[in-house]
Structure formats: C-alpha cells, structure tokens
Structure 1
Amino acid sequence: MSDGGGAQESDAVGLLRALIREACVNDGRPDSGQEIRSVRVLQRFLAPAVAAGRIETQVLESAPGRASLIARVRGTDPSAPSLGLLGHLDVVPVDPEGWTRNPFGGDLIDGEIWGRGAVDMLYLTAAFAAVLRETALAPERPRGDLVLLAVADEEAGGEYGIHWLVREHPDAMRVSEALSESGGMRMGAHVAIEVAEKGSAGRRLVIRGKPGHASIPYGAASAAYRVGEVLQRLGEVAPAAQPSELWDAFVAARIGDPALAERLRDPVSIDAALPHLGGIAGYAHAVSRITLSPTVLRAGMTHNVIPAVGTIDLDIRTLPGTSDADVDQLLAAVLGPLIDEVEIQHLRGWAATASSAREPLFAAIERAVGAVAGAPVVPIMAAGGSDARVLRELGIPAYGFGLLGPDWTYERYREGVHGNDERIDVESVELSLAALRLIVAERVGGLVVE
C-alpha cells in the first residue's frame, strides 16, 4: 500500500497503521484498553516466524481483554545478553473535534502516519515487532534472547500490564537489558536517549476548619478559605533548582549561547534564565528540580453548609535520590507557618529511577545512532513516567530509545504525545528501524546489517 506517491510502505509502517486502527483507548477504567485486539494484530504479524518454530509467544490476560503479548526468540548462548523490547499497546483518549483526520484511521498521507498513539508509542512497538520477526527469520540464530514485551495499561499506570506481569509471570519477563520509549528527539545536534525518569510522590493536604450554617458565617471558619491560603503559599514558594550531571549534559547539548548556558548551570540564576529557552523551558524547569502541582481541590458537600474539611491533592515529581522523608521535609519548608494547620497524607507513588550511561547497551545505542544519523547522543531525564522504570526497579538497565528525523525537536515530540492530530513521519520510523537493527545485531546477534 502507498500514500498516493507511489512509495511502498514497510512492514513496520503497515503494522503501525493496523495497530492505530484497533483503537485500544485506555481511560483508566478496568475494562477499557481491550489490548487483546492489538495482541491479535501482532500474532498475525508474527505468525510466519511462529509457524517456523522461531518465536515462542505467550498471551497473558490480567483481566478480560487486558492482554499483553510476550514473544521470545531464543538465543544459542545462555551467557549472552537477553534484550527486551518494551512497548505498550494502549493509547490515551481523544477529542475527535480537535482532529483534522480520523484519529483511528491510520492514514498515510504525504509521508506521515496519522492516528492516536502514532508517536506514543505505537511506532516503536511496531518497529520492535518488525525487527523481532526479522531476527527470528534470519539464517543464523542470535547468540542471546530477543524479547518483545508488548504490554497493556501503560497509560493508566500499568497495574493491568507490566506490574501484573512482573508479579505473576516473572519468567516470561526475564531480560537482562531493555529498550523502551521516550528517546530519539533532537537536542541541538544531539539525539536524546532517556536514561532516567522522575519519581512520583503524591500527597493529599488535609485542612480543617469550623463548620456552620452558610447563612450565619460569623463564628465559623471555612476550610475553603484555608485551602486558599495554602494554595497561595504553594504558589509563592517553589522548590529550588538542583542541577545534576544530566542537567549539565542537557545544557551542553541544547544551549548554543555560552552566556545563557553559564546562567543555566548556576542554581541561583537558573530561574531567571528559563524564559529565554522558548518552548523547551517547561521541560527544563521540570527536570532541574522537584515539582509540586496542585491538581484536585475539594471542600464542602452542599451549598448551605460551611465546610469543615478541605483537601488539596498534589502531583509531586521527584529527582533521583529523593526519599519520602525528603518530600515531607520539603513540604514543611514550603508551607512554612501553615504546616501546623495541615495534615499530610501519602498517596500512591514511586521512586525516581536511572540507568547508567556506562552500560554496554547504552554504548551500542551511541554507536547505532552515530552510524545511522551521524549524530552524538545525550542522556536525558524524562519528566514523566513509563514502564521502563519497573525494569529499572528490578535492576535491569533500560533506556528510552528512538531515532526521529532531524526536524523532531523535543518541543515537536511533546506536541505529538497526547495531542491533537498526532502523527509520525515514515522517515522517523525507518531511522528508528535502522538504528534498532544495529543495536540488536551488536547485543544479541543473528541479524546481518550491511
């Protein structure tokens, strides 16, 4: 099939379009997602290699329809690396009115594949499956295992996906290193490869007042007013920047103005320099510090009762090495004199994770990106989260991979993720495929890449 220009689409592009059309939308409800549909697409794609006895597959359902596919090509050497290719099958909801085209059409127009999940992260899941099949059907078996981990529920936290899999089926998930999402965007002349993710340390602030009838407010103390006082304090006092080795690498790769780079390396002047960064300022702010974001406010049950209790839910994103105690101490410092009036409750969270950029897999990524794109790589931290952190928590080195085209700045990448008119160009799919083949050939063998 073609986009009207006569170009023949690759197996990976065809698979990407098919995955988009399955519309495995995950809105957080247990019965959403229904990733079994995309699992069936992958099973059909891998069927020739499965029939030839070259791939072992398992379909694992955590709940009806919440399916993940594990596909393994066995290597000949048990001591060789076992490389995992971790991709998710679910996508976030869409507002169809914000789209120029059908968000689940998988249209190929002027060299771009349109659809929800094209960037996040079905293009990589399709590339992973394509290279797995190529490796399985190659004349020589690989030295080490190559494993496709196509999982459910990443967009809602992974309870029906990777968390359930590592808990209930640890042998199926067995790999020694892994590639996943959140890499490949251009940082100046460099290609960004994610080596770390911020953690999450959600908190609920409980603020108490004195209730009363709303028609006679004198003598009452509305918790809603106190919620406002706490919000004002949160808006006025912010955590300080904490530059790190990854921050220095980001500044060196992305900031061409030496004077601005110097200001960004100084914790005292970072905040004043951020407005000069344009579209990447939000990312720079996020990865240079712990962030506190009030997200859900509650106070009162009915219009004629002055509320006795108000709550503020905080989305708190932490840096590597930050403990729960550190977060509580930071909150106490931010709230200052209001801390005695606030009860801090812990919500669900996880620690920040990082993989060393000195691991052999990262070196293989560097060589592959250099060979395909002629560009150096820069290790970066992701402000958000992905399933890769679960592997890192198990001690498995995991990196956010990809090789997007030269015009794919970080800003363009972020606009595509969860945005309207999400799409990815064929060039980026093919660049990622080319680099992935080199990485697989180096780490586990089997493929012959010219």
Structure 2
Amino acid sequence: MSSAHDTVDLLSAMIRNACVNDGSPDSGQESRNAGVLLDYLSDTSVQVEVVEPHPGRVSAVFRVPGRHRDAPALTLLGHTDVVPADPRTWTHDPFSGAVRDGIVWGRGAIDMLNLTAAMAVVTRAVARRPRPLAGDLVFAAVADEESGSRFGAGWIARHRPELLAWDHALTESAGAHVGSGAVSVTVGEKGSFPRRLLVRGRSGHGSMPWGARNAAVIAAEAVARIARHRPAARTDERWEAFVHAQELPPAVTSALLDPATLDDHLHRLGETARFAHALTHLTLTPTIVRAGGKINVIPGTAAVDIDIRALPGQSEDEADAELRAALGDLTEHITVEPLGSRTPSQSPPGRLYDTIGAAVSRRFPGRGPLPLLTAGGTDARFVRERGGLAYGFGLYSSDWDVGRYRRLFHGDDEHVDVESLRLTTDALQDVVESFLEEER
C-alpha cells in the first residue's frame, strides 16, 4: 500500500504554501500547491491538464487511464485552497506545517489538504501499478472551493467538463467515529441561501442621538433578533441513525428523536451538539456587519450579511420566510438582497458507498458507514448536479469523534494526527482499487 510518509510531507508543504482564499479574485494563488502536486507526480505516466481561469487560480487534473474505456471511472476531488487564519489565536503558526509528536499542525490539516495529499499519494501508486486498473482514475486538485468554486470545480463543470469523470467521485468530509459502531460518510450537504440586509436609517450628528434613526442600532437589533430566532427542528432517517449510534440512555435517545424536545437535549451530545443542531435545523447566522464611516456621524445606512443554510426539502422561500419571522417589525426599515442560491444535494447509496463501507470495516472490525449530511458546502454538489454520485471520504483514528472533527473546520489550532493520515491514505487506496478493478 501507499506510504503515509509522502502524505505527511505533501500536507506540510501545502500548508506552508498558505494558499489563503479570502474570496477576492487574486487571493488563493493555488498555483503554489498545484506546483507541489505536479512535481510529486512528474515521474509517473499520468496524463496532466492544468487550467487557470484567473491568474494564479490554478487547478491541476491528473488522469490514470484504465484498461477498458467502458469500465466505471472514479474522480478524487480535492481542493488546494484554505481559509484565513489569525496567528494570534493559534498555539502554533497556522502556516508552519509543523510535525510534532505525531501531529501535523496548520490551516488545511483537516479542511482539506490532508485528503488532497492522500489523493495524490494514491494516484501515484495507481499510476505505478504494473497492470492498470480496469477503470480510469481522475485526481482533480482544484482551486477556490472555499469561496464558491467559480475558479475551480464550478469553472471546470461549466467550461471543461470532459476533464473529470462525473459518475462517481470522492471528496470531503467524513471519517470521524460515531459511538463504538459507526464511521461517518458524507452523502449530502445543506443548501445555501445567503442574504444581505440593507438597513435604512437617517443620518445626523453623533452629538445629538435622541430621536435619531441610527442604522447601526437597527442593524444591531436585527442581528440580535436573528440570533434569538429558533426555527423548528426537522428530523429524518439519517438523524435517527445518528442518534442511535451515540449509544445514549433510552430517555435521552427518545428526546433527541422528537423534534419537539430535541433542542432541550442537544447538550447531552457534548462537543457534537453544534454539528447535531446543524443537521436538524435551518440556520440563520449573521456574519458581517457594516455601518458608519466617521465617529461623529450617525449612520443612515448599514448592511448585515446572513449565512442561511437549509436542509434537504427546504426551499429558498422557506428560508426567506424564517428570516422575515426573525426580523418582525424591523422589516419596514430593511431591504433583503439575495447573495446567491444553492439548493441542498444528496446522493443515494450505491456500489461506491458499499466499497467505502467494506474498507472501513476492514480497518475497524464491527464498525460500518453512517450516512450524514455536512452543514457546509463542498464540490460534491457539481457532481450531483451532473447526475453522479459523490461521497465525502476519509478515515480517522478512533479518538476522533464527530464533535472534535467538526470543531476544527475553519477553527483555531487545526491539526491532524499522522495515524489518521496513514488510515486515510491506506483506506483510500483500498477503495480506489476495489471500485475500479471490479468490472461491470
């Protein structure tokens, strides 16, 4: 099987490249990480295609041809950009890629340079096989996932779709343990309906606040109301399986399965509670507030950006209705501006899902796959939009539960242990070879 040493080295190198995507077109500069992967695979016979929709926003696509053109193909879809990190709130330099006591530290160690590195290592191993697998393996190291993928997988889907195999794909994020019998596999993601609140007030001198209609104050009240708003819980068969896997006392299990009592018992899930809440609710989160430009001027306008995430089956209209309900009578001072729309997506079980489950059980006997949604967005949606099946993949050591794993996404002190990198690389190669070698 592939060596985890290469995975560790690649991960550290990509963390050090600091391909930070802040949403602006010139950020990211994923050409640096693409270069690392191109160098790593340069001594193989893989077919390579490089695309650069915007200067520095490079995606590299590697293809290992199979023996039979009509055999099922598989895409490994990894991104090479990361979100910003504030060094002042980290114990270790977020862009050091330091390896200490069996831990790799840095931004991207979990999201998702760890898996992208493992994908490269497995691609190299497959390319060096004396006998090719039956189906094609495609490894796409793409840009811009952290800001909507307009320069990455989204651009490829629109302009160069022939580069990827769209029927089956593996991407982020999964592999954490749930109870003693399950390992998470991501089968879908929530929808995203971001909104901007444009607040209308009336400007004036800061020394005379009485009777003023201060847009900053209205915006602050809007933020507070949205934070206090409680959309009703919704559950499904995935939630039921997730709760049973927690192995909680029967009374707690029953309470968590009932939408009417779920919220009052989420705390019983400990560190997993935040993720569990996201699995069962439409969420509205104020993230950016803008008002004023001079300390002695009462602002007449303000803006508040709201991150809204919806569950499968929930529509854009339902999200807007929840937002209006949260704002109440403040709506007379506010215009709601849509900032985009992405419907929820999910993949049913299939042969690739079963192959993942078998690989998990071989490494953790008695444990099987647990299908879950992810609260954030991934590039899997582009595969699903084209009719393919996409699953989040990975495999972590047994002390990584879902709460610990999810906490580190976009969080401080992001890290991963070398044993989990070994498990992921080993299991990924197992899945790739088992899926692509089985001819149908």
Q: TM-score, normalised by structure 1?
A: 0.89
Residue 231 to residue 83, structure 1, CA distance change in 2 (3 Å): same
* Letter in structure 1 aligned against 2:434: E
Separation in 2 of the partners of 1:215 and 1:102? 44
Q: Which residue does 2:402 correspond to in 1?
A: 410
Q: Which residue does 1:48 correspond to in 2?
A: 43
Separation in 2 of the partners of 1:311 and 1:28? 18
Query: Contact conserved, 1:104 with 1:115, CA < 8 A, in 2?
Result: yes
Q: Which residue does 1:238 correspond to in 2?
A: 230
SS across alignment from 1:84: strand
Separation in 2 of the partners of 1:88 and 1:432? 16
Is 1:185 aligned to residue 180 of structure 2?
no
Q: Which residue does 1:276 correspond to in 2?
A: 268
SS across alignment from 1:10: helix
Separation in 1 of the partners of 2:138 and 2:167? 10
* Count of residues in Structure 1 that have an aligned counterpart in Structure 2: 435
Q: Which residue does 1:202 correspond to in 2?
A: 194
Q: TM-score, normalised by structure 2?
A: 0.91
* Letter in structure 1 aligned against 2:379: D
Separation in 2 of the partners of 1:91 and 1:230? 31
Is 1:90 aligned to residue 81 of structure 2?
yes
Separation in 1 of the partners of 2:206 and 2:96? 53
* Letter in structure 1 aligned against 2:315: S
Query: Contact conserved, 1:147 with 1:175, CA < 8 A, in 2?
Result: no
Separation in 2 of the partners of 1:246 and 1:367? 20
Residue 92 to residue 225, structure 1, CA distance change in 2 (3 Å): closer
* Letter in structure 2 aligned against 1:93: P
The alignment yields a C-alpha RMSD, in angstroms, of 2.3
Q: Which residue does 1:438 correspond to in 2?
A: 430
1:313 maps to which of 302, 305, 310:
305
Q: Which residue does 1:5 correspond to in 2?
A: none
Separation in 2 of the partners of 1:59 and 1:272? 51
Is 1:38 aligned to residue 55 of structure 2?
no
Is 1:68 aligned to residue 68 of structure 2?
no
Separation in 2 of the partners of 1:182 and 1:406? 16
Q: Unaligned stretches of 5+ in structure 2?
A: none
* Letter in structure 2 aligned against 1:118: A
Separation in 1 of the partners of 2:87 and 2:40? 29
* Letter in structure 1 aligned against 2:335: E
Counting aligned pairs with the same residue, the percent is 45
Q: Which residue does 1:123 correspond to in 2?
A: 114
Query: Contact conserved, 2:118 with 2:425, CA < 8 A, in 1?
Result: yes
1:364 maps to which of 340, 344, 355:
355
Range with greater deviation from structure 2 (291-300 or 206-215): 206-215
Residue 426 to residue 234, structure 1, CA distance change in 2 (3 Å): closer
SS across alignment from 2:173: coil
Separation in 1 of the partners of 2:383 and 2:397? 28
Separation in 2 of the partners of 1:289 and 1:83? 33
Query: Contact conserved, 2:284 with 2:309, CA < 8 A, in 1?
Result: yes
Deviation at 1:193, TM superposition (A): 0.8
* Letter in structure 2 aligned against 1:411: G
Separation in 1 of the partners of 2:315 and 2:376? 18
Deviation at 1:299, TM superposition (A): 3.7
Residue by residue over 1:128-164, the C-alpha shift from the partner in whole angstroms, topping out at 9 and shown as x without a partner, is 1111111121122111111001011222222221122
Query: Contact conserved, 2:34 with 2:59, CA < 8 A, in 1?
Result: yes
Deviation at 1:216, TM superposition (A): 5.0
Deviation at 1:12, TM superposition (A): 2.5
Residue 301 to residue 320, structure 1, CA distance change in 2 (3 Å): same
Query: Contact conserved, 1:249 with 1:380, CA < 8 A, in 2?
Result: no
* Letter in structure 1 aligned against 2:232: A
Separation in 1 of the partners of 2:333 and 2:392? 42
Residue 102 to residue 344, structure 1, CA distance change in 2 (3 Å): closer
Range with greater deviation from structure 2 (294-303 or 186-195): 294-303
1:329 maps to which of 277, 297, 321:
321
Residue 39 to residue 287, structure 1, CA distance change in 2 (3 Å): same
Q: Unaligned stretches of 5+ in structure 1?
A: 1-7
Query: Contact conserved, 1:372 with 1:434, CA < 8 A, in 2?
Result: no
Q: Which residue does 1:24 correspond to in 2?
A: 19
1:353 maps to which of 342, 345, 349:
345
Is 1:287 aligned to residue 279 of structure 2?
yes
Query: Contact conserved, 1:239 with 1:334, CA < 8 A, in 2?
Result: no
Query: Contact conserved, 2:77 with 2:139, CA < 8 A, in 1?
Result: yes
Separation in 1 of the partners of 2:87 and 2:282? 34
Is 1:165 aligned to residue 173 of structure 2?
no
